[in-house]
Structure 1
Amino acid sequence: MKILKLELVLLDYDYPQVFIGYDLLGLSYICMVARLNGVEPVYLCVPVSPFRRGEICSGKIDLRQVFSNPEVGEFYWASPDSLEGDISIALASFSTCPQEYLADDGLIFNCEDEVANKAFELRSTVAYASLSVAEARHETRIRSWKLSEFLSIYQNVIKNLSRHAVKQVGKTIPRDETPYNTDVFGVSFGSFTVHLRSSDETDFLGENAVLKMAFDRLNQFIDTVSRPDDALIFLQSVQGHTASALIRLLNFLHENDCPLKHQWASPTMPESRSSTVRLSSARQVIELCRQRADIGVENIEITGIVDSADLSRSTWKIISGSDTMSGHIKPGADINLAGIVIGENYKFKCEEKVEEILGTGKEVKTIHLVSFEKVESSNLV
């Protein structure tokens, strides 16, 4: 008796009708429902070579041919309670598939869309990020610091796009919730491809609505990069930290001479969505952004108790709840800290910008005070 693991469902109707499994040696098996034992499906399985597996997955041969013209005269039976764990298969007593078990002519599959298949298999929103780095040209390889920096930048992009997308539909993401987090669950050759999935629990369909919005918005932006003026319009529409995060992603690709392909899918999508960043276009967008100081600036309001105000250095510090924030007066702003009373409540209107420390991937926030007003204690929310 052998043990299989589920690799890919090819046909699902109430339960998987046809699937691909693999054994401990990595050999693939095509398995189809041949009969029912009461209401439970009994699968007939046949081993296939990588070439035959490619033929069935690309629609070059139909399911009937796989069983009527097997590569080896071995067939197996499987009656699993579930396909989620080990699947035991037992050798059948025949070496030629009986006619009554053969599928109808013309049942073909196109399972080349690995990302959509993986989303369906995992019941989760997934993305494949392919980095065309020099060291991955001939093998699955990438500098560890480069991968670490990319994942940090990528997750920051997804976080900011998630928060912006949710805000656009009139909602917010509570501070203690992170429905946009992703986990790496694998890598593959083809540039250097990182496989990511939702970190959080999904609904009964395997969907993560917030992460879907973020992935979709990321691909929308990537699609505009080939049209730099449109990319600039996109960045102006999201502004603030979201724009900064996207610009840092382009900078990473430019500095590491690394085109990016981003492909994602959720379990209910019939096919994945894919977009690619070309370096020449990324460089043009970066240059346009350097000419626009307003991109990446977020307008924020801080209400709290002023802890310090240094006139000579034009610096200040304010305590808002459990947070202490500090910064400078915005260059050119027509304001003076001389009138501020230490220990009193004020509302500060500021511009916040996130900047990256070159070579580290770390971020620092700079906050510039634009205007302020005193707030009476009775008016505090």
Structure 2
Amino acid sequence: MKEIQVLHVLLEYDYPQVFVGRDRVDSRYVAMVVEEGNQGPVYLCTPISHFRCDELLGGKIDLRHIYEKPQVPEFFTCEPNDLTGFFAINAYASDEIPEQWLPEAGLFFNHADLVLNKAQELGSTIAYASLSVPESAKEARIRTRKLSEFLAIYQNVLKNLARATAKAYGKAIPKNEEPYDSDVFGFCPGSFTVQIRSAEQCDILGENKALVAAFIKLNEFLDLADQPDAAMAFLLGMKGHAATSLISLLSFISDNNCPFTNTWSTPGMSASSKSRIRVATAQNVIQRCKQREDLGIEVVELIGIVDSAKVSTGNWTIHADGDSFSGNIKEGSNLNLSGITVGMRYTFFCEEKIEVVQGTGREVRIISLVRYTEA
């Protein structure tokens, strides 16, 4: 016995009139109401390929074409009393269907939002990150170095935006948790497009709240980028590591001459969110950022046991919050480490900034001591 579940509702009136379903091995089926039975609507189902399903969703073929010219002469009927899970479909006795069951010609659907469709299929928060690199002009192609660097920068953007947003709402993400992690699950042709989904389990609505927050902020920034004053205000509002990550993304776009488009969705959205930035726009914002050295600085307070303090070099190490942190005295400061007793407990007031290693996208944290007190 075959079982399917509803994937995309194409037409609804009181209940789904036409929908696309999938079985337990991810094959696609189109189903439409053909009559009213004793228990409710009776659906006529027929299997279709993923390609033809995309044609139907994109309005390239009408519903009648699916049933009038089936890819395989195989039909099923069902009278489900619950459309929220899998339900059985039964083989129809004939490979031909009554004329009165066929839909009228010209019934097209516009469900061409590929990102939303994919989010619904996967039941997850996803994004399509498109890089219009020169080598992708005629085929889905990108230099391995560029892709590796981009993925590192993109994940850093999601991480830092998610953490900054959660902190701003008073619900900081614990240090040992990474709910914003993402997986690459495919690629698309055209400009080189990376398909990304939540690596963490989503809620029952298919949402990863940390990723959603990061995507909202990322697209907000991309939309503001062609207004330099507004873009700078955004970066100043974020500051710290989140601002540094966004500037690194702009630098990647500029250095590799590749306009960037970010499109994301969750299953419950009515449409995906899409934002784009041009190379010239990225370069304009970068120039403005060079005038603000404080953009990438975060204030950090470390409370713990000092492991080392070298007066001659200004280097130090402190064990705090279960980790070991190392740094030096802030450049230009008159601070001296001679007053520190190794093994004693202190509070270090520091400035932390991130430097991104060019060509890899790897982040390096630089911690500078501003002042200290005994804890």
Q: How far 1:167 sits from its partner (Å)? A: 1.2
2:167 is matched with which residue?
167
The 1:359–1:53 alpha-carbon spacing in structure 2 relative to 1, beyond 3 Å, is closer
| RMSD after superposition | 3.6
Matched residues in 2 for 1:117 and 1:267: separation? 8
Q: How far 1:78 sits from its partner (Å)? A: 5.6
Letter in 2 for 1:371: R
Q: How far 1:105 sits from its partner (Å)? A: 8.1
SS at match of 1:364: strand
Matched residues in 2 for 1:187 and 1:16: separation? 33
SS at match of 1:93: coil
2:76 is matched with which residue?
77
Q: How far 1:178 sits from its partner (Å)? A: 1.8
1:143 is matched with which residue?
143
For structure 1, which runs of at least 5 residues remain unmatched after alignment?
Answer: 376-381
1:133 is matched with which residue?
133
Letter in 2 for 1:138: K
1:319 is matched with which residue?
319
The 1:3–1:166 alpha-carbon spacing in structure 2 relative to 1, beyond 3 Å, is closer
Matched residues in 1 for 2:374 and 2:17: separation? 66
Are 1:280 and 2:283 an aligned pair? Answer: no
The 1:57–1:142 alpha-carbon spacing in structure 2 relative to 1, beyond 3 Å, is same
SS at match of 2:264: strand
TM-score, normalised with respect to structure 1: 0.83
The 1:6–1:135 alpha-carbon spacing in structure 2 relative to 1, beyond 3 Å, is farther
Matched residues in 1 for 2:346 and 2:54: separation? 68
Matched residues in 2 for 1:80 and 1:300: separation? 62
Letter in 2 for 1:119: A
SS at match of 1:352: strand
Alignment of 1:221-370 (within 5 A): 221-370=221-370
Count of residue pairs brought into register by the alignment: 370
1:44 is matched with which residue?
45
Contact 1:62 1:106 in 2 (8 A): yes
Farther off after superposition, 130-139 or 308-317: 308-317
Matched residues in 2 for 1:105 and 1:119: separation? 30
The 1:204–1:351 alpha-carbon spacing in structure 2 relative to 1, beyond 3 Å, is same
Contact 2:59 2:109 in 1 (8 A): yes
Matched residues in 1 for 2:85 and 2:184: separation? 20
The 1:289–1:16 alpha-carbon spacing in structure 2 relative to 1, beyond 3 Å, is farther
SS at match of 1:162: helix
Matched residues in 2 for 1:316 and 1:201: separation? 40
Matched residues in 2 for 1:166 and 1:18: separation? 38
Matched residues in 2 for 1:158 and 1:7: separation? 28
Contact 1:8 1:21 in 2 (8 A): no
Identity of aligned residues (%): 42
1:205 is matched with which residue?
205
Matched residues in 2 for 1:112 and 1:325: separation? 50
The 1:16–1:173 alpha-carbon spacing in structure 2 relative to 1, beyond 3 Å, is farther
SS at match of 2:364: strand
Contact 2:46 2:70 in 1 (8 A): no
Contact 1:47 1:75 in 2 (8 A): no
Matched residues in 2 for 1:17 and 1:187: separation? 30
Matched residues in 1 for 2:313 and 2:2: separation? 75
Q: Per-residue CA shift, 1:357-378, capped at 9, x if unaligned?
A: 2223222111111111112xxx
Letter in 2 for 1:121: E
Q: Per-residue CA shift, 1:341-371, capped at 9, x if unaligned?
A: 2222211111011101222322211111111
Alignment of 1:90-129 (within 5 A): 93-95=94-96, 97-99=98-100, 101-103=101-103, 108-129=108-129
For structure 2, which runs of at least 5 residues remain unmatched after alignment?
Answer: none
Letter in 2 for 1:76: F
1:374 is matched with which residue?
374
1:18 is matched with which residue?
19
